[in-house]
Amino acid sequence: MVKLGLKETDQVFMIIHVVIAIVLLGIMLMTIRTTNITTERIGFRRHTRLPLIVMTIVMVLLMLIDNVLPNFVQVFHHPATILAVTLTAVMAGVFEELSCRGLLFSGLLAFSQNSRHPFISSAIWSSLIFGCLHLFNIISEGQGVEVTVQQVFYAAVIGVFFAAIRVAANGLLIPIILHSMIDFTPNITSVSSSVMDWTSLLIVFIPILVVALWGLWAEERVLK
């Protein structure tokens, strides 16, 4: 294996992620022929202007809370792991956004066009599935149950938020970039063992969920 600063098993998983991401993109382009949600640009309309501004502020605050900038600095202070962290973060962003906000969200949206809130329902279901995928960390990584449940919770919330961004941007590029930036941490390949305080977790992520649902609701109003 090429020396990337990763264990050989991690390199294998990275290669698998690359292959799966390419396959997912191919399936998506063959089935729905686009990564766009609609042919009509949503943008800063009367109904979406305020929600999108608030979503932008929330995204900035989330990155501050998640120490995105300090993480970037810390990674670049260790040149031996820059390539490994970059590849892992980018492939996580590409793979998870293509699979969950791309193929899964678009598929659910196609089946819920006649529902009252197609964006909201598709975002919630695809994000719940995205969150539950983290349960495999218990088996594959030997991660603790409580910390994994917390991952499921905040991953699902972030999934709804990224779905709102995906609809607003009418594409996957911005969600992929934001996802990769959040994952760009020195310990991206290590198992999480620290359990967070549930009160703090809820205080941070419930408002994010509310803002995301507000954004999706506003986006639905534009297209009605």
Distance CA 188, CA 69 (A): 15
Report residue 3's pLDDT band, with 50, 70 and 90 as the boundaries.
very low
Domain spans in the chain, listed from the N-terminal domain onward? 8-223
The pLDDT value recorded for residue 26 is 72
Q: What percent of the chain lies above the pLDDT cut of 70? A: 78
Range of weakest confidence among 32-46, 60-74, 80-94, 160-174:
32-46
Long-range Cβ pairs for the range 20-26 (8 Å, 24+): 20/95, 20/99, 21/91, 21/94, 21/95, 21/98, 24/95, 24/98, 24/99, 24/102, 24/103, 25/98, 25/102
Q: What is the pTM of this model?
A: 0.83
Task: Kindly indicate the confidence band of residue 1, based on its pLDDT and cuts at 50, 70 and 90.
Answer: very low
Taking only the tens place, the pLDDT of each residue in 26-40 is: 776 676 566 677 766
Question: Any idea which of 25-39, 95-109, 133-147, 185-199 has the lowest mean pLDDT?
Answer: 25-39
